[in-house]
Amino acid sequence: MTQVPATLENNFRAVLRADQMRSASPSDVVSGVQPQLILEPATEQHLAAALRLSNEARLAVIPRGGATKLAWGNSPSRADLILSTTRLNRVLEHAWADLTVTVEAGCTFQTLQETLAQHGQRLALDPLWPEKATVGGILSTNDSGALRLRFGSLRDLIIGVTIALPDGTLASSGGKVVKNVAGYDLPKLVTGAFGTLGVITR
């Protein structure tokens, strides 16, 4: 673990509120590796700024949603800080007539399904621990469940995504309509990438 300089902690405090930054506890260990800080930004812009500061300091960052799949993928050799998406938890738009919904990455799958159910709809996935698993984490780990055999996997159902890149840039691809040919197919690229290409925010 790299020691996070006090000056960098002050820079984080300039971006985040006091309740959005804390020291890591033993319960935050990832595959036996103890991080030093937990950051919980409440906006995409603040998350991107925190990621940029971390990248400039060459810190090892682990994105975390509901913490249901931290044991998946390769075990980290370093974990200086965890960047949590749990405060990015809103359903932003449900265009039920168009069969599309836009959510922030920290929205739980259960919350998403409850929103869709108000109009007799659902997302045809059955990921593990739906009450805790976040949409961003499900996408990042490609946790589609057995329903993918009938309806396709998540990468076949998602039509747009926004991610925060290590330099703090927010990159978006796709759109809000089912027939969309705008730009590279970033949604398929980040599906199953385990946060290695950037942090999914929306």
pLDDT in tens, 6-58: 777 888 888 899 999 999 999 999 988 999 999 999 999 999 999 999 999 99
CB 163 within 8 A of CB 198: yes
Question: How buried is 188 (Cβ within 10 angstroms: 0-12 exposed, 13-18 middle, 19+ buried)?
Answer: middle
Would you identify the CATH topology of the domain 6-84?
3.30.43
pLDDT at 94 over 70: yes
How confident is residue 3, by pLDDT bands cut at 50, 70 and 90?
low
* Rounded average pLDDT over 77-103: 94
Q: pTM for this one?
A: 0.89
Over residues 71-76, the mean pLDDT reads 86
In CATH terms, 91-200 corresponds, of 3.30.465.10, 2.40.128.110, 3.20.20.140, 3.40.30.10, to: 3.30.465.10
Q: For the chain, which residues make up each domain, given as ranges? A: 6-84, 91-200
Q: Give yes or no on whether 6-84 and 91-200 have one common fold.
A: no
What's the mean per-residue pLDDT of the chain?
A: 90
182 pLDDT band, cuts 50/70/90, is: low
pLDDT band per the 50, 70, 90 thresholds, residue 149: confident
Pairing of strands 100-103, 91-95: antiparallel
Place of tokens 């509120």: 17
Residues 6+ apart with CB under 8 A from 84: 38, 39, 40, 41, 63, 64, 65, 106
